[in-house]
Structure 1
């Protein structure tokens, strides 16, 4: 493969896909490369899924600026891209007078950052809305503009809209080098070939410093910080919470919280473990980590139903050596644009980061806005949420919508087939799961997993032995004798 592009985006997480979505509004040839078969396979798939209000980051920092702007942008994007967002608001809980003083600091910082509607309420006022929180909570900071979302769905929506507007997404495409001549970017080298370009946007998450060094810029480092989570069955929500409940923050982050999801589950986490740079991709959960999460979560919500646990998982955050987002043109290599160190509130900040960076490229190139830009993306059918008459009509049109594959979540064969053939379609079992929820229920794919595997094999026209769980080499079948896929 040898191709030309005006801009190459490296990294298919929420930041990279938001940037591609913004680039697709202009007459620019934009290509995104992602090393894994699925988008959002890194930090984006494993985080707290909160759209933060913007009171936590230091006033004047990139984190604060992008957070507040991004939050406002999502209020418009929700309907435009059919995003899975619930504007729940959020609470930061204080257990004593010292923590109440921290709430006052957060309130003042939030006001300085331009966050609307913040106020401190009493513990009793909080318990009227969240009756299961601790009786020891003395007060809370209420942020009405915060929300919860489905991060993978956000990233997918950005990518799908970009693709229908002419951008390209190349998956399983690992960057091996960046050609620089006379101090300027000339091409991106990948294991699939060369992409000639004048601009590279580095949105490579925990590997952003490595990508930057390939282009001759070693001005920052990215250090991995692991966060472990526990996810509970939907039946537990009545005993837990409906909004994000934070403790007062520490220097390591926002702390271990208790939070609902847009799908009706509840989770607790994350903790914060600084890891060696050699372990950027370590996503193993630990028993001490689980114990730590439960201990701290119970300070906010005493009756955590451990028996309702359905899975545990880990996200790795990209902590920059600068302590802030690293955004904008490299000072060492012309054409290299950094979108690095995007830890919390990176999910919230993504559309604002995208606009900030793309505005710079547009100003430099003079690229015109597309006159035929298409808003939105193809509708995604959700059988279980339809009225009975609409379900019957859909089954009459396509009988595959009458075959339930995932019993826990009532996901049909028709929905799975649609997920595979969308503009940026599923290529793995987890790709189907994140697009449809097949495998996200109580049995965690025990019933539907083999059927999803068969459907992927059929629709992608590949042998069953070529079907993968998520990552490049995560084949579902393993041959013990050869030490490889079956």
Structure 2
């Protein structure tokens, strides 16, 4: 394979897909490469799913500017791309006078950053809004412009719109080298072949420093920081909290929060564990981490029932050596554009980062907007949310919508087939899960898992033994013939 592109985006997380979406508005040939079978398989799938208001980042930092602008952009994108966002507002709570002083500092910082509507509430006002929080809470910073979202869904929406508008996505495509001649990018080499290009946007997340090194830029390092979470059954946790409840932040981050999801679950986490540089892909959860997460979450919301937990997971954050986002052209290699060190509030900042980087390329190349640019993306039926009449009409059109595969979440065969054949379709069990919620309920795929595997095998025209959970080598069954089975 030899391809040509004006811009190659490396990394299929929220930043990379947002950049591709923005590039696809212009007459540019844009290709995104992702090493895994699914997009958003790294930090994007395992974070707190909060769209931050923008009061936390230091005034004048790139994080602060991108956060506030990104939050505003999501308000416009929500309807355009049919994004799962609930503008819930958020609380940062204080337990004593010292922490109340920190809240006042955050209020001032947020106002300086241009965050609207911030207020300090007393403890009684907080408990009136969130009845299940601790009686020991003295006060809180209320941020009405914050929200919660479905991060995988956001990344997928960006990607689908980009593909509809002519962008290309290469999955299971690992970058092996970046060819630089006379100080400028010439091509991206992958295990699928070469892509000739003048611009590379490095959105490789936890591995962004390694990609930068391939292009001859060693100006920064990315260090891994792991955070562990516990997710609770939505039926057991109904109405526990409505908004994200944060503790007073520390130098290690925003702290262990209690938060609802857009689907009705509640989770607690993350803790913060600095990892060795050779542990960038270590997403194992630990007993000590679970104990810490529960203990600190219960300081905010005491009545968290452990018996309602349905799964635990961890994500790794990309902590930059600079302490801020690393955005813009490399000072070493012409054509290399960095989008590195994108930790919190990276999810919120993604559309602003995309616009900032794309605008620079557009100016330099003299690109113009497409006259035939298509907004939105193909509709995605959600059977359980339809009226009875609409459900009957959908079943009459396609009988597969009458076969429920996932009982916990009422997901039908029709929805799973649609998820597989969308512009950026599911290739794995977890890909189906994150697009449809099949396997996200109380039984965690115990009932529907085998049927999902069968449907993937049938629709992708692959043997059962080639169906994977999520990553390249995470085969669901051991394949004796090829010896390629087992966990990644």
TM over 0.5: yes
Task: Judge conservation of contact 2:152–2:434 (CA < 8 Å) in 1.
Answer: yes
Matches of residues 400-419 of structure 1 in structure 2 within 5 Å? Answer: 400-419=400-419
Q: How far 1:480 sits from its partner (Å)? A: 7.1
Aligned residue for 2:299, secondary structure, equals coil
Q: How far 1:479 sits from its partner (Å)? A: 4.6
C-alpha separation between the residues in 1 aligned to 2:167 and 2:278?
Answer: 34
Match of 1:73 in 2: 73
How far does the alpha carbon of each residue in 1:106-147 deviate from its partner, in whole angstroms, 9 at most, with x for none?
Answer: 000000000000000011111111100000000000000000
Match of 2:147 in 1: 147
C-alpha separation between the residues in 2 aligned to 1:273 and 1:147?
Answer: 26
Match of 2:22 in 1: 22
C-alpha separation between the residues in 2 aligned to 1:371 and 1:479?
Answer: 49
TM-score (structure 2 length as normaliser):
0.99
Aligned residue for 1:19, secondary structure, equals helix
Match of 2:35 in 1: 35
C-alpha separation between the residues in 1 aligned to 2:220 and 2:342?
Answer: 13
Match of 1:59 in 2: 59
Aligned residue for 1:310, secondary structure, equals strand
Match of 2:117 in 1: 117
Match of 2:279 in 1: 279
Matches of residues 183-194 of structure 1 in structure 2 within 5 Å? Answer: 183-194=183-194
Aligned length: 486
Match of 1:364 in 2: 364
Q: How far 1:247 sits from its partner (Å)? A: 0.1
Match of 2:430 in 1: 430
Matches of residues 86-97 of structure 1 in structure 2 within 5 Å? Answer: 86-97=86-97
C-alpha separation between the residues in 1 aligned to 2:479 and 2:159?
Answer: 35
Q: How far 1:478 sits from its partner (Å)? A: 1.6
Match of 2:7 in 1: 7
C-alpha separation between the residues in 1 aligned to 2:122 and 2:252?
Answer: 26
C-alpha separation between the residues in 2 aligned to 1:103 and 1:458?
Answer: 55
Match of 1:303 in 2: 303
Whether 2:213 is the aligned partner of 1:213: answer yes
How far does the alpha carbon of each residue in 1:9-64 deviate from its partner, in whole angstroms, 9 at most, with x for none?
Answer: 00000000000000000000000000000000000000000000000000010000
Matches of residues 289-368 of structure 1 in structure 2 within 5 Å? Answer: 289-368=289-368
Q: How far 1:239 sits from its partner (Å)? A: 5.9
C-alpha separation between the residues in 2 aligned to 1:407 and 1:238?
Answer: 19
C-alpha separation between the residues in 2 aligned to 1:238 and 1:98?
Answer: 33
How far does the alpha carbon of each residue in 1:405-430 deviate from its partner, in whole angstroms, 9 at most, with x for none?
Answer: 00000000000000000000000000
Q: How far 1:483 sits from its partner (Å)? A: 5.1
Whether 2:162 is the aligned partner of 1:162: answer yes
Aligned residue for 1:393, secondary structure, equals helix
Match of 1:473 in 2: 473
97 and 480 in structure 1: CA distance in 2 versus 1, 3 angstrom threshold: farther
How far does the alpha carbon of each residue in 1:197-227 deviate from its partner, in whole angstroms, 9 at most, with x for none?
Answer: 0000000000000000000000000000000
Q: How far 1:242 sits from its partner (Å)? A: 1.1
CA RMSD of aligned residues (A): 0.9
C-alpha separation between the residues in 1 aligned to 2:60 and 2:97?
Answer: 28
Q: Runs (4+) of structure 1 moved beyond 3 Å?
A: 479-484
Match of 2:204 in 1: 204
Q: How far 1:481 sits from its partner (Å)? A: 9.4
Task: Judge conservation of contact 2:238–2:264 (CA < 8 Å) in 1.
Answer: no
How far does the alpha carbon of each residue in 1:422-469 deviate from its partner, in whole angstroms, 9 at most, with x for none?
Answer: 000000000000000000000000000000000000000111111000
C-alpha separation between the residues in 2 aligned to 1:164 and 1:289?
Answer: 42
Unaligned runs of 5+ in 1: none
Q: How far 1:240 sits from its partner (Å)? A: 2.1
Match of 2:260 in 1: 260
Task: Judge conservation of contact 1:231–1:268 (CA < 8 Å) in 2.
Answer: yes
C-alpha separation between the residues in 2 aligned to 1:386 and 1:436?
Answer: 14
Aligned residue for 1:187, secondary structure, equals strand
Unaligned runs of 5+ in 2: none
Match of 2:288 in 1: 288
C-alpha separation between the residues in 2 aligned to 1:310 and 1:219?
Answer: 42
Match of 2:244 in 1: 244
Task: Judge conservation of contact 1:239–1:303 (CA < 8 Å) in 2.
Answer: no
Match of 1:172 in 2: 172
C-alpha separation between the residues in 2 aligned to 1:325 and 1:2?
Answer: 32
366 and 239 in structure 1: CA distance in 2 versus 1, 3 angstrom threshold: closer
Match of 1:373 in 2: 373
C-alpha separation between the residues in 2 aligned to 1:316 and 1:96?
Answer: 31
Task: Judge conservation of contact 1:330–1:336 (CA < 8 Å) in 2.
Answer: yes
Task: Judge conservation of contact 1:236–1:266 (CA < 8 Å) in 2.
Answer: no
Task: Judge conservation of contact 1:201–1:336 (CA < 8 Å) in 2.
Answer: yes
